[in-house]
Each structure stands twice: as C-alpha cells, then as structure tokens.
Amino acid sequence: MKAEYIDRIYAGWLAKIIGIRLGAPVEGWTFEQIRKRYGRIDAYPVDYQDFAADDDSNGPIFFVRALKEGKHFPDMEPQDVGDALMNYAGYQHGFFWFGGYGVSTEHTAFENLWNGIPAPRSGSARQNGLAVAEQIGGQIFIDCWGLVSPGKEERAARLARAAASVTHDGNGIQGGVFVAVCISHAFVERDIRRIICKGLSFLPKDCEYAAVVRAVMDFYDENPGDWEACFSYIHDNWGYDRYPGNCHIIPNAAVMILSLLYGEGDFDRTLCICCMCGWDTDCNVGNVATIMGVRGGLSVIDYARWREPVNDFVVFSSVAGALNISDVPEGASYMAQLAYELDGEIPPKPWREIWSRGRWLGHFAYTGSTQGMRARGGRGTTLRNVNCGDATGGRGLLVATDPEQAGSVCEVYKKTYYEPGDFHDDRYQPSFSPTVYPGQTLHCRLRPAWAADVEAAAGQLDLVSGRERRPAAPFQAQLYVRVRQDQEEKILCSQVFSWEDGSFRDISWQIPGKNSFTVMEAGVCYQIPENGGIVLDTLCADGKADYEIDFSRERTEKWTDVHREISQFTREKGLGFLQEGRLHLTGTDFAEVYTGDWEWTDYEAEFALTPILGQEHYALVRVQGAIRSYAVGFTRAGYIGVCKKDGESRILQETVFEWKPEETYRLRVSVEKNQIRVFCHGQEILAVQDDENPWLKGGIGLGVRSNSHCSCSRISLTCLREK
C-alpha cells in the first residue's frame, strides 16, 4: 500500500465525521424546511459544545473490528460482523436507533441475532420483509470497508456485502457495496463520474439502486447547471412518499449521486448541496464526504470551516466505555493498520513505531491533526499542527498564546473522561470509562516555541525549518491530571521541570496510585514563555493502573430523564443504581455493567460483592464486550465457579462454597496469561487454566444471571504488568 494513502484514510474518516456533524442538525428535515430555516447552508448549521455520539460513526468504528476479532481474518463472514454488533451494542439502548422490531432495521436484526437467528438470515428479506431490509442502514455504516481497501475495489465489495447482509438485503446490500467501492476507487481515481461508474460496475444491472444512479446521471447530463431541478426530479420520481418505511435507501441514494455530480468535484459544494436536499442528511453527507475526502485528501478540507470546529474530536456509544472516548486519528490509524495487514505488508516508518505504541493522547503525526487537545488559560491561545515536531515524523502541536501573556500559566490537555454537561445533546446515549487511571505514568515531549514557530502559526505556514530558531528561555512545565473524587475536582501536579536551551525535553510523572478518583483530563501546564507558546511533540499515558472504585464516592450521571448512568460504567443490560454507598445490579434474565481499559492484560481485581436475591452473582474480568468475558462468582446455591462467555456462557470450573444472601464476600481474582485464580477473604478457592482460545485482555465489571440482584461497595485493581 502506498504510504500516501495513510493520510488519505485519515482524510476520509475525518470527512465522515465532518459530514455527520454537518447533517445531524437537519436530519429528517425536508428540502423546504431547510431552505426556510437556513437559506443556503455553507457551514455547520449548529455550533455544538461537543458533538455527542452518532450511529453513523458508531457502526463503522466497531463493525470494522470484526476483521481481527472474528474467526476468518484476513477474510470475513457475515457472522463475524454479527458478533461485533452483539459485542459492542448495548441491549436496546445507544449505538443506533432502537425504534422497534419491524420499524428499525438495525433493531430488527439485533433482536434476530439475540434470539439465535444467524447472519445473514438476520438481515434477510425472507426473514424481515423487503421494506425493512431496504432501509438506509446498509450503506451508512459501510465506509470502513472502503477505507481499509485503498484501490482494492473487489475486497471492498466483498467485505461490504458481508457486513451489510447482517442487517439488510436487496437494495440495502447493493447500496453498501456501491459506497464501499466508490470510497476504495477514490484512492486511485479523481474523476467523479468514473468513481460512480466503478461503484455501478459491482451492482446487478437490473437492480433498482443501479437504475436510480443511472437516471440521476442522465438528468445531470441534460441539466448540468441546476441541482435544484434535479432534486425536484428525484422528489417526484423517488421521493419518500413512494417507498415504505421511514428512511428508505433509494431516495437517499439519489440525493448522494446528485451532490457528487453537481458538486463538480468541490468538497465544500458537494457536502452543502447534499445537506440542503434534506431527508437522512447526516447519513448521506457522511457517505459523500468520505468519498470526497479520500478523493481530494486533506488539502481540500478547509481548516477553519470544517476541521477547527471538529478538533479531531469524536466519541461513540458502545458498551466499551474506554473505547467510546477517541479521536479521528485513532480511528484512522486502526483502519490504516488493517489495510496494511490485509495487503500483507509492513507499515513504513514512522507509522510502524507510532502504531506499535498503542493508544496515544496525542502524537500529531497526521497533517493538520490536533487529536482533540484543548487549552486553558492565556489570551488568544490557538492550537495548530506544524512541521516542527521531533519524535513522530517531524510534526507537532504548536500551542501559541499572545506573548503579552508571558509568565502566566497555560494548560494544554486531553479530556480522559466525559460527563453529560460536556455535550450539546444526548444523541445515541453515550457513556464512558476513563482512558487514564491512577498508578499510570504520563509522558510528554515538548519544548518552548521558537520565534519561527509563532510566525508560522500567525501566517498559517507549515514549515519552519531554515527560519530563526531563537529559543525562549527559561522554561518551566509540569505534568498534571484533573481528577474528580466525591463531588469535587482537584488538580494533581508533578514536580516542576525547567530548562533553558529551547530544545525538546522528555518529561514523565507517575499519577499517584491506590486512589479512588476519576482522571478527568491529563496534560501539561507551563509558564507561557516570551515567544508565547510551546511545541508539544507527544503526550501519552502507560504503565500499571493501580486504583479502586469506592461506590460511596461515585455518582449517578443524569443525561436526560430516561438516560442515567453510573459514573465510570457502561451498561449492557439490566438496572444499575447507587444506594447507600453501593452499586446495585438487577434485571430479568441477566444484567451486566463494565468499566476499565479493554487493553489491560494481567491484573488482580478485588470485589466486595453482596448477593441479595437469586442464585447467580459475578465479578467480571477480561471483559472484551457483551459476548466475551470471564465471570467469577456464585454459580448456584452452595457453589462458586468460573464461567467463560464466548457468545454463550459456560462454566469452566466450580466447587462447593456455602455462600449466603446479604453477606459480603471479598472476592479477589488474579488473571495472568491463561490462568485464573480465585480467592475469597484471602483464601484460594479455585485455579483455572483456559487452554481454548483464552481471553488475554479486557476490562472489569459486575454481572447477575437468573433474575438475580447483587450489590458491590468497592472494587480495587492492580495491574501486574503494563498493558
């Protein structure tokens, strides 16, 4: 794969997020409603505080994990995607629209999978009827398959067909194939018509999806200067009134082709036309934007209009709370790595070293990337990616402040946990677990800004090599975390680091361990130097988490009257609530809640667990989602055991243990490689070795089965080695 495609994958994923954000405020509106309210859209209609999760980004980022987490890599079967859906989507909440069985296509397929109907039957017209099968979802979640297949159209089509068939059929599948192929082909072709024709070449010539694409192309040829006339043509011949369901794929496909053609290759014009047409705007603009972003690369995406408001920020709403906090470069990196693996190639430097490092708070190696970094303090502070970094391919984040602020304090940071008050709305009910924990070590590489850096930012230049590099000295900085404990926030800081030569310096600091606070943000605070800024090369956290969760200090986070979460936890199913300093978990059938880092490997976790009603009460370890984990606890009256969930749950081993309701048991679980050891009140009860596809990493949680109810007052965790 060409190295230049890495930035193009980033451009495509960034454009997808831009398109979603552009279309979301007018989703479901008609052309007339948009025209009356906004006139002509030429930028984001709404200035979001922070844009909450969206189904159009949830689907691609979690479904693409089916490749490596499935059983057929480098190939993929529909059931692999079905498993990813069941693993990351909560039961009838978040992720996508759970609008009712037979109403929402995704909800229908989810319930089918839940009740044992395998993929692709889960999405088939024979199972669900053609109207349900041909709604829009077959193409809106499909961008990832084109992004992992640059110039490999056959692969993109194959993967997209498998993925779309889990939830859709007929034209629903054809739309997914078409969009994925267009994205793949846009890596190697700039002509819009040829990109569209390449997508068509993978569809049956007699299918309705192909027919509407050709019809819009023909209309454009005869009326090349009037997109509104084309929309009237689409409205009269393929409008919503002509198709069943609330969001059929055919009208929206026609709008996408209209915008691609009448946009005349211009990124801004294409997206804005697509948005002004109405109907499923976030979906349509998201797909079109991915094609246009890949086609043109980062240079066509206006920074001030589109990129700066997004700030590389994106969150998701799966059951994987730590994975729900992300940024655009992280998603691009995941897909770029997959592209190299699918091609059987090794990534080039510096990407190989960057990707091997795992999750970053910031590395800034993508052109123009800011990775969701923020600044506080200092008048007129701006963040700009410039070519003056060091460790990661020469790029860094220039944080420039008015030089008159020299000597005052500025904080540059990454949010590592989000709360309801951070967001403009509650789209798709997100919830989160922290991405940084007590006991871990913060690392940062930075330097004071040179005069040339500040000039580059002021002139929006990229290169500063060869300019004056007068150092700003002396310089002082501290690493810090902002934490929440009980209902209060406080700041914990490292020692002061100081240097005078204007060079890059690596600084590190271990966050105090064995604490029960939540790390809300992590970053560096510094005295603004005489040139007004710094260059941040890298920021990351690693090492062994060592902390506890004291539920008397946790809180209920109210998003809306019907959406409430326990701080730090995501919920798969059931009811979790705080009462008298304990987390209670109850539900019909089963209930589970999760927290922690999906990348933790070996650790010891201790749970103060109290069974209240029923027979099955569990501490969960190595949680990798809703269908992959170990459960350790009371399997039935008079027994304790270890269960493994791999879709279905089964007992690996159990032994006699006379537990009683309403008594608190101190269960300590040690997981090292494929070994699971269970202790109760300090005494070893069980030792289990899982030799059959063991789960070797994952978070923690609590669970009940068989209509049971338990509570927990405290959880502590100590990692035995770095993740």
Residue 414 counted as domain residue: yes
Together in a domain, 676 and 697: yes
Q: Which of 54-58, 422-426, 499-503 has the lowest mean pLDDT?
A: 499-503
Q: What is the pLDDT of residue 465?
A: 46
| 626-685 per-position pLDDT tens digit | 999 999 999 999 999 999 999 999 999 999 999 999 999 999 999 999 999 999 999 999
CATH of the domain at 476: 2.60.120.260
Count of structural domains, the chain: 3
Q: How confident is the model at residue 125 (pLDDT cuts 50, 70, 90)?
A: very high
- Which residues, at least 6 apart from 328, have a Cβ–Cβ distance to it below 8 Å? 10, 13, 14, 17, 310, 312, 313, 314, 369, 371
Together in a domain, 390 and 250: no
Q: Between 387 and 338, where is the model more confident?
A: 338
**Cis status of the peptide bond prior to 694, with omega within 30 of 0:** no
Q: How confident is the model at residue 459 (pLDDT cuts 50, 70, 90)?
A: low
Q: Which of 401-405, 415-419, 494-498 has the lowest mean pLDDT?
A: 401-405
Q: What is the pLDDT of residue 467?
A: 46
CATH of the domain at 290: 1.10.4080.10
Q: Between 580 and 474, where is the model more confident?
A: 580
Q: What is the pLDDT of residue 500?
A: 85
CATH of the domain at 559: 2.60.120.560
Q: Which of 543, 562, 580 is where one domain is finished?
A: 543
DSSP track, 350-387: THHHHHHT---SB---STT--TT-EEESSTT-EEEEEB
Q: How confident is the model at residue 468 (pLDDT cuts 50, 70, 90)?
A: very low
Query: Percent of the chain scored above 90 by pLDDT?
Result: 88
Together in a domain, 570 and 535: no
Q: Which of 255, 283, 315 is where one domain is finished?
A: 315
| 571-604 per-position pLDDT tens digit | 999 999 999 999 999 999 999 999 999 999 999 9
Residue 331 counted as domain residue: no
- Which residues, at least 6 apart from 634, have a Cβ–Cβ distance to it below 8 Å? 611, 615, 616, 617, 618, 640, 641, 657, 659
Together in a domain, 533 and 562: no
Q: How confident is the model at residue 544 (pLDDT cuts 50, 70, 90)?
A: very high
| 215-274 per-position pLDDT tens digit | 999 999 999 989 999 999 999 999 999 999 999 999 999 999 999 999 999 999 999 999
Together in a domain, 516 and 619: no
DSSP type of residue 90: B
* Mean of pLDDT over the chain: 94
- Which residues, at least 6 apart from 593, have a Cβ–Cβ distance to it below 8 Å? 566, 569, 570, 571, 572, 574, 576, 583, 585, 701, 702, 703
Together in a domain, 223 and 203: yes
Q: What is the pLDDT of residue 723?
A: 62
Together in a domain, 502 and 566: no
Together in a domain, 473 and 564: no
Together in a domain, 224 and 168: yes
Q: Report the alpha-carbon distance of residue 498 to residue 448 in Å, rounded.
A: 11
Q: How confident is the model at residue 424 (pLDDT cuts 50, 70, 90)?
A: confident
Structure tokens at 472: 């700003």
Is 50 exceeded by the pLDDT of residue 466? no
Residue 567 counted as domain residue: yes
- Span 460-475, average pLDDT: 54
Q: What is the pLDDT of residue 464?
A: 46
pTM above 0.85, yes or no: yes
Together in a domain, 220 and 179: yes
Residue 296 counted as domain residue: yes
Residue 339 counted as domain residue: no
Residue 321 counted as domain residue: no
Q: Between 380 and 281, where is the model more confident?
A: 281
406, 381 Cβ separation under 8 angstroms: no
- Span 38-59, average pLDDT: 94
Is 80 exceeded by the pLDDT of residue 388? no
Q: Which of 281, 300, 315 is where one domain is finished?
A: 315
| 274-313 per-position pLDDT tens digit | 999 999 999 999 999 999 999 999 999 999 999 999 999 9
Q: Residue 414: which domain range?
A: 358-543
- Span 182-204, average pLDDT: 98
Q: Which of 56-65, 444-453, 469-478, 675-684 has the lowest mean pLDDT?
A: 469-478
Together in a domain, 670 and 529: no
228, 40 Cβ separation under 8 angstroms: no
Length of the chain: 723
Other CB atoms within 10 Å distance of the CB of residue 224: 12
| 342-374 per-position pLDDT tens digit | 999 999 988 999 998 878 999 999 999 999 999
Q: Report the alpha-carbon distance of residue 657 to residue 640 in Å, rounded.
A: 6
Q: How confident is the model at residue 473 (pLDDT cuts 50, 70, 90)?
A: low
Q: Report the alpha-carbon distance of residue 355 to residue 566 in Å, rounded.
A: 32
